[in-house]
Amino acid sequence: MIDNQIHLAREILRLRLSQLLINERYKARDFRVPIHLALGHEALAVALAEIMRDGDQILLPHRNLHYNLARTHSLKAIVAEFLLRKTGLARGKYGSMNLFNAEQGVLYASGILGNNLSVSAGVALAEKVTGSGAVTFVVTGDGAMEEGAFYETLIFLAGQSLASVVVVENNGWSLASRIDERRAPIDVERLAQGCGAGYRKLAGNDVFVYADALEQVRGDATNGKRPVVVEVALKTLGDWRQPTEEFPDGKYINYHAGPAPTTSVAPWPLLAADASDPLHVLCGHFGEAALKAEAETMLAALRKDVA
Amino acid sequence: MNYVDFVNQRIKAVTASKRLVVYGQNVSTGSCLSGLSRGFDKIPGHTVINTTNSEATLVGIGFGLMLRGVSSIFFMKQQDFLLLGIEQLSDTWNALRNRPVDASFTIAAIIVDSGWEGPQSCLNNLADITSVSRVPGFTVSNRADAEAVIDRHVHAPGVRIIGVSQRLLRTPLIEYGEPVTFGPDAGVVRYAEGGEATIVAYNLAFPQAMTLHQEFAKRGRKASLFSVSATMPESVDVILANVARTRRLAVVDDSKSVNSPACVLIAAAHARAPGLAAIEIGRHWTPDSSAPNADTLEIDVERVIDALGVTA
């Protein structure tokens, strides 16, 4: 158990440092493909990757870097993909938004909001038809769930009794618009239950809590032969303030895609001293000193990997 | 045997020994889409699902099944419903087209090529749908092209759309001439060989083209007759070679949109045989065309003969 906890903690560090290294090269204009960093999403990705079993599949949206890093233990292969090299994870043919790794169960990724939900319904149906016993995971967001595909997929999954986990990364933003700017609030729990799906809410960025909860959710989906919606409250870090004529003290810019200009790689990669940063939460388990030492060693190894 | 029963039985025959998911709205209930999807639930190994009314997701489901090695056919009552799945056809297919797959995904859609549905009859051109994403598409209108397309494509790995004529559903199956199939995709069928003109059918206009061929024969003129069932045929060289010999080309296309592969053929024919006589028999669009109407594509045979310079 302790060994596994250390493993998960290292994974969080690896995902954070890997993204920061990518961000540095992005800022240096090394990449031409659009990349959506997922700083602050690491605990969820690590926990999900941890509880997936052999044969399980995950279908991702355009912000997929954290899951690809979690399921692919090679930053080098992902950087090569972003550089569109043949040595890339997908032979340099898919870039970022459609990046997949079928060998590791990352079956498909879509650049279009809601698109992967519909495809996941077919994957879940295939598992039922073939009797594989595998569970299909699909990741979406609070913006994509506004698409009709979210509702269509839920009623199909529930109607066909398909074991599936629908993860909603709720960061409160769709590009530059907040939820309260674009729509009425949606009670995801009632929506899910109204469609015949289960529901679980996660918050707090504790990777150990998330892993336990997602393991239970996987069991619920399998035993109940139904979809379960997991709504995860999180914050996409990397935001900044940009001074303008109208906002001389800086206009708040929510991070959506591209390089995060004010975020830099550092031996200790903490980005926020609160629960919005999974690393901060991790300090509550292991203490900052131990994690700092681990981070320093890991950063050196990652730099060497992509040198 | 009528047209829809033949298409239904042919698809069942080529898929009978395979594991297959057959799905769509009302595919095994009611009229089973006028008989098009009837009886798949009686075949061992087939999973048949009467689905929700969720076309965007239903298209995505076929891709998801394909990714996991399960073949499927999505039967669709009207092609224009497929507009709701265009995003999946374009984005998903273009993300998957270079990935190796073992399974097939076929969309069999009834094209509303009669006019009584009014606005819903306006989208009668399969090429409109397939051109968006370069998904292979095939129309079937007679025994020869149905056999060629269904036998070659329905269980082949990858995706394609097969367009079925609503107008022809209950009509006797057309069997005509001495059909020969051409092209690696079986996208072109020749029904007759004649040296005085080349008649080519596009979309679902084979009945009209066949009538024109018969009218030529009544007048003692020998024409070649082709149909192009593929919306993006891998080759039309056999037609162009024929046109180079006859130097007279009549293209019959019942499509209502301006996106016509027939125009591409005419341009290619002019390039291959400069100075040839060519006529396109197609739609004359008016604002009333979208209102319910009989919607028959009439052919003025004498005008065609005049245009081609074929003296009776």
Domain ranges within chain A, ordered by starting residue: 2-240+248-306
Contact A122 B68 (CB under 8 A): yes
Residue reference for tokens 């398909």: A162
Question: How many domains would you assign to chain B?
Answer: 2
List A residues 65-94 in contact with B (Cβ-Cβ < 8 A): 93-94
Cα–Cα distance between A190 and A250 in angstroms, integer?
A: 39
Residue B311 clears pLDDT 80, i.e. is over it: no
**Rounded average pLDDT over B139-154:** 97
Is the pLDDT at A81 greater than 60? The verdict is yes
Cross-chain Cβ contact A155/B52 below 8 Å: yes
Instruction: Inspect the interface and report whether the beta carbons of A122 and B95 lie closer than 8 Å.
Output: no
Quick: pLDDT tens for B83-94.
Answer: 999 999 999 999
Topology annotation, domain A2-240+248-306: Rossmann fold (3.40.50)
Domain housing B249:
180-308
Instruction: Examine residue B174 and state whether it is found in any structural domain, yes or no.
Output: no
Cβ <8 Å between A119 and B56: no
Quick one: B161 and B184 in the same domain? no
Q: CB B67 to CB A122 under 8 A?
A: yes
Beta strand ranges found along B171-222 (DSSP E): 180-182, 188-192, 197-202
Segment B246-263, tens digit of pLDDT: 999 999 999 998 888 899
Where does a domain end: B107, B135, B165?
A: B165
CATH number at residue B84: 3.40.50.970
> Long-range CB contacts (< 8 A, 24+ apart) of A25-34?
A25/A79, A26/A258, A26/A259, A27/A259, A27/A261, A30/A83, A31/A82, A31/A83, A32/A84, A33/A82, A33/A84, A33/A95, A33/A96, A33/A97, A34/A95, A34/A96, A34/A97, A34/A257, A34/A258
pLDDT digits (tens, 9 = 90+) for B12-59: 999 998 899 999 999 999 999 999 999 999 999 999 999 999 999 999
Is residue B171 included in any domain, yes or no? no
- By Cβ distance, the residue of A112, A127, A156 closest to B68 is A127
Residue B103 and residue B126 share a domain:
yes
CA separation for the pair B124, B79 (Å, rounded): 8
Does residue B155 fall inside a structural domain?
A: yes
B153 shares its domain with B187: no
Least confident of A25-34, A168-177, B145-154: A168-177
Look at residue B173 and tell me if it is in a domain: no
Q: B131 and B201: one domain?
A: no
Mutate to test the interface with A, among B18, B25, B52, B57 (most CBs of A within 10 A): B57
Cβ A123–B47 below 8 Å, yes or no?
no
Report the half-sphere exposure of B38 (CA within 13 A, side-chain side): 13
All residues of chain A having their beta carbon less than 8 Å from the beta carbon of residue B91 are 110-112, 115
Check whether residue B19 and residue B161 sit in a common domain: yes
Distance from CA of A160 to the nearest CA of B (A): 9
From the list A112, A122, A129, the residue facing B87 with the nearest CB is A112
B193 and B103 assigned to the same domain: no
State the ipTM, two decimals. Answer: 0.96
Q: Are residues B7 and B146 in the same domain?
A: yes
Contact B88 A57 (CB under 8 A): no
What residue in A sits closest to B71 (Cα-Cα)? Answer: A126
